[in-house]
Amino acid sequence: MSDTTKYELRGPGIEITYRQGDLSLNGDKPYLQDRHFTGDGQLEESSVGIGRLVTAELVPINRSGSEVILTLLLPNTYLQDGAAGEPATGVAVITETNDSTVRQHYDVRPLSGAVSQVSS
């Protein structure tokens, strides 16, 4: 078994649980309620200088060009074996794209909670 980092974060109207290749979320909008995504083409994950970006398509693009995407910015971690409940913060950005003059609208939600090292 290998260890993986598990994030359990919440913010205004949103709760997330994430470990590489697996995202569960619940929130205050219909497209946030009881959702689960896996790395099998449902998540885009990448490490950048300021942390880890995780992106999931909440509402696929439709004929009018509207779509909703969730992007999480999560902190890089250097946890010791068995570390649990270390305080952590992050950001959830919900991007709504439509065919209006201003194409994207951002709903930015601060996240806080804990990060742990768990067996996968």
Name residue 82's amino acid: G
3-38 residue pLDDT tens: 789 999 999 999 999 999 999 999 999 999 999 999
CA distance 53 to 119: 22
Are the C-beta atoms of 3 and 119 separated by less than 8 Å? yes
61-117 residue pLDDT tens: 877 778 999 999 999 888 777 667 889 999 999 999 987 777 899 999 999 999 998
Are the C-beta atoms of 24 and 35 separated by less than 8 Å? yes
Strand, coil or helix: 34: coil
Are the C-beta atoms of 18 and 4 separated by less than 8 Å? no
pLDDT given at position 31: 94
pLDDT given at position 82: 67
- What is the spatial order of strands in the sheet that 22-27 belongs to? 35-38, 22-27, 14-19, 3-11, 104-119, 86-97, 67-74, 51-59, 43-48
Residue 97's beta-bridge partner residues?
Answer: 67, 104
Name residue 60's amino acid: P
Domain assignment of residue 10, given as a range:
3-119
The count of structural domains within the chain is 1
2 has pLDDT over 80: no
Q: Which two tokens stand for residue 61?
A: 């693009």
